Structure 1
Amino acid sequence: MTPTTTRMHAEIAQQPEALRDTFDALLPQVPEIAALARQTRQVLFIARGSSDNAGVYGSYLVQAHAGRLASLASPSIATTYRKDVDLAGVLAVAISQSGRTEEIVETLRWAAANGARTVGLTNGAGSPLTEVADVALVTRAGNEVAVPATKTYSTQLAALAVLALGLGADVDAGELQLVPDEIERMLGQANGDLEEIVERLAGVGGAVVSGRGLAYSSALELALKLKEACYLHAMGLSYADLLHGPIAVVDDKTPAILLAADSGPTLDGTVELARRVTAAGAAAYGIGGGDRLGQACTLSLEGPRLPEWLAPIGLIVPGQLLTERLARRLGINPDAPRGLGKVTQTT
């Protein structure tokens, strides 16, 4: 029987407290990060799954606001091909919810052996990842029981925002304090067309989830959540990649879910994409983007009132609520999706 209350829903609700605790714990480490920054030029993010989606946020944030080249690692170069790469001048940032995924720990060791300075970002205090890293950023999400990552993902984004400060990002650090309060506000009110979107998604087999720039990370994460917890064939694509051909799959049976901050350089394109989708006879469901995206979409969910650099932390929350509610509507227990465990080991 599908539960009427779930651990996933409870853990979504715990995010404001988890974010406050994480910022309080990590902001004092900005000088440590800055010391590593002075020894490096570019950033390499090492992760899998939800943590890899967090790394996408880190990559956009570091490049757009700290002026450093950033990229995502291919861990199999270290663990399967076992090839050395010159990583002098690189800050390698490994992200793992548990800190115990062997592939990620091994890849961070490999990075250090190849000349990188290292950061381990994890919710697992005392985990192997923290022991390998030069600097450990330990989030304060608390124990997460449900298999789909919720509060561990949002606190990873929070930690990456702190990392960006240490790397010299041209942002206002005081705006970090807006995030927990804004998510608390969002959780405390009914969110737009949630139930109607759930009913419509319950009748389709797939969806395209899209965002651009900083919002792309949480579009990827929402697509992953819909696959994990609802068994929906959800494709996470950037706005730009979607227009290069895959938009052909969007039709009356394959809606688009579009994520955007309320401001920033990618909003105009996301609004135009929504208009293009609906003009083709398909449904577009918006998350965030203010009134402009909401009016261009078939149905919409309110996003966070946050500056663009922090918006992805809040944009995922309506997506998490949508995933949890849709899973229950489909008769699935989102706490324990089939075939998945809390820690995935890869080699």
Structure 2
Amino acid sequence: MSFMLREIHEQPDVIARLVTEEQSSADKLAREIERREINFIIMAARGTSDHAAIYGKYLLEIRNKLPVALADPSIFTLYSAELKLDRALVIGISQSGQATDVAEYLKRSKEFGALTAAITNEPGSTISQVADHTILCHAGAEKGVAATKTYTSTLAALYLLSASLSQDVSHAERQLKRCAEAIESAITLEGYCADRAERYRFMQDGYVISRGFNYCTALEMALKLAETSYTGLLAYSAADFLHGPIAAVHESEPCFLCAPPGKAYEAMLDMARRLSERKAETVIISSDDEILSLATTPIKIEIDVEEELTPLVYIIPGQMFAYFLAVTRGYDPDRPRGLSKVTLTR
């Protein structure tokens, strides 16, 4: 079994382990946020970690009423800007903990008065040494170049922090355990994804669309397909997609939709109908039969979780599909061309 596929299978255990090991770290950070009367958050990340940060933005703004911005590290690394950050929390996210621009952003933010935190899979890494607080992913060594288990564990870490801030830890622990079960169920789609990948062997471009909490899922799925199968699919929020890009959809254009139950579902159902009218080739991930009936390739999620946790479950078919599409094309998903496990930028 390849590293990537093995690590996809490990995700339920990783989530369960993080809940056990990191609740106290999340609590300590939450109490310091309260003590210092933090009133806004900035998240610094790149690549897959940046997609996790987008999830954190939705979560902390909706559940905890804290405005969240996504950092542009170059304001420090290239432009040497100065910011007023004495009431800010700056969270650096890096699975390896070695992202040089994220570490620099944390360091400079600390100098300007910010409370700082790191979310990483590597204890003792650069960003954990710089930050005031660290939440570890407990994913174990991730050998696959395309991140899988460190992504979902980062989402779980952000969920734990949000729950600690709202003092709803018991509920969060129960929901994360149910989420681990839902991920286990989604992994059983492996054979189905392997079979369906052949249909998309020659796919070169298209779109991945979702909305709300799962905007990050669209971004991450498009990235996984690019990393492993070298496709050029573009990811969009369903709302943004209607502001122009939908005009470019032609007959048989591949369009992947992530549509869990929740507040964004009706928008996704409308999108599926519009794409059906345009005779697009739709791959729809959902638990709802109505929207799945519109799909060229339906992918059914059998276990529902609360909307805030659906990104942890709905990315699983995306990871599986990316893996099997690469294999179908004769590529090695563990050795994507031009990529390494740690990418250093400034």
Give the TM bin, normalised by the shorter chain.
over 0.9
Partner of 2:62: 64
Partner of 2:345: 346
Partner residue in 1 for 2:117: 119
Distance in 2 (CA, whole Å) between partners of 1:300 and 1:235 is 20
Equivalent residue of 2:96, what SS?
coil
> Which amino acid letter does the alignment assign opposite residue 27 of structure 1?
Q
Kindly indicate whether the alpha-carbon contact (under 8 Å) linking 2:119 and 2:157 is maintained by their aligned counterparts in 1.
Answer: yes
Structure 1 counterpart of 2:106: 108
Deviation at 1:203, TM superposition (A): 2.4
Deviation of residue 238 (structure 1)? 0.7
Partner of 2:246: 247
Instruction: Pick one of 133, 136, 149 that aligns with 1:135.
Output: 133
Alignment of 1:209-288 (within 5 A): 209-261=208-260, 263-288=261-286
Q: Which residue of 2 aligns with 1:318?
A: 317
What whole-Å deviation, never above 9, does each CA across 1:107-135 have from its counterpart, x for those lacking one? 11111111210110000111111111111
Q: Partners of 1:71 and 1:294 in 2: how far apart?
A: 34
Instruction: Pick one of 32, 35, 52 that aligns with 2:31.
Output: 35
Q: Tell me whether 51-60 or 16-25 shows the greater mean CA deviation.
A: 16-25
Which residue number in structure 2 is paired with residue 23 of structure 1?
19
Listed as ranges, the matches of 1:285-324 within 5 Å are 285-303=283-301, 304-324=303-323
Whole-Å separation in 1 of the counterparts to 2:111 and 2:269 = 46
Shift of 1:267: 0.3
Could you tell me how far apart the structure 2 residues matched to 1:254 and 1:87 are? 45
Deviates most, 109-118 or 245-254: 245-254
TM-score of the aligned structures, taking structure 2 as reference length: 0.95
Distance (whole Å) between structure 2 residues aligned to residue 293 and residue 115 of structure 1:
48
Aligned-pair CA distance for 1:69? 0.6
TM-score (norm 1): 0.94
Query: In structure 2, what is the equivalent of residue 180 of structure 1?
Result: 180
Q: Give me the whole-angstrom Cα distance separating, in 1, the residues matched to 2:63 and 2:308.
A: 8
In the superposition, relative to structure 1, how do residues 221 and 60 fare at CA in structure 2: closer, same or farther (>3 Å)?
same
Unaligned regions of 5+ residues in structure 2, if any? Answer: none
User: Secondary structure of the equivalent of 1:91?
Assistant: strand
The answer as to whether partners of 2:52 and 2:154 remain within 8 angstroms in 1 is yes
Structure 2 CA distance for partners of 1:207 and 1:121, relative to 1, 3 Å: same
Query: Is the CA contact (8 Å cut-off) linking 2:253 and 2:280 kept in structure 1?
Result: yes
1:209 and 1:223 in contact (8 A); partners too: yes
**Distance in structure 2 (CA, Å) of the matches to 1:114 and 1:201:** 50
- Equivalent pairs, count: 341
Secondary structure of 1:71's aligned partner: strand
Structure 1, unmatched stretches of 5+, are none
Cα distance in structure 2, aligned partners of 1:80 and 1:64: 32
Structure 2 distance, partners of 1:158, 1:31, is 14
Alpha-carbon offset, residue 290 of structure 1: 2.2
* Aligned partners of 1:148 and 1:335 also within 8 Å: yes
1-structure distance, mates of 2:283, 2:256: 5
CA deviation vs aligned residue, 1:65-111 (integer Å, no higher than 9, x gap): 11111111101111111101111211111100000111111111111
Q: Closer, same or farther in 2 for the Cα pair 1:244/1:138, shift >3 Å?
A: same
The separation in 2 between residues aligned to 1:297 and 1:69, in whole angstroms, is 36
Q: Quick one: which amino acid aligns to residue 160 of structure 1?
A: L
Tell me the distance in 1 between the aligned counterparts of 2:115 and 2:328.
47
| Counterpart position of 1:147 | 145
Pairwise CA distance, 1:253: 4.5
Indicate the residue corresponding to 1:8 in structure 2: 4
Q: Alignment identity in percent?
A: 35
The alpha carbon displacement at 1:168 in A equals 1.9
Deviations 1:185-210 (A, max 9, x none): 222x3468534541232122112001
Cα distance in 2, alignment partners of residues 164 and 190 from structure 1: 30
The secondary structure found in structure 2 opposite 1:309 is helix
**Deviates most, 301-310 or 320-329:** 301-310
Deviation at 1:170, TM superposition (A): 7.0
Q: CA RMSD in A?
A: 1.6
Residue 305 of structure 1, CA deviation: 1.7
Aligned-partner SS, 2:80: coil
Alpha-carbon separation, structure 2, partners of 1:344 and 1:215: 25
SS of alignment partner, residue 308 of structure 2:
coil
CA distance, structure 2, for counterparts of residue 197 and residue 292 of structure 1 = 21
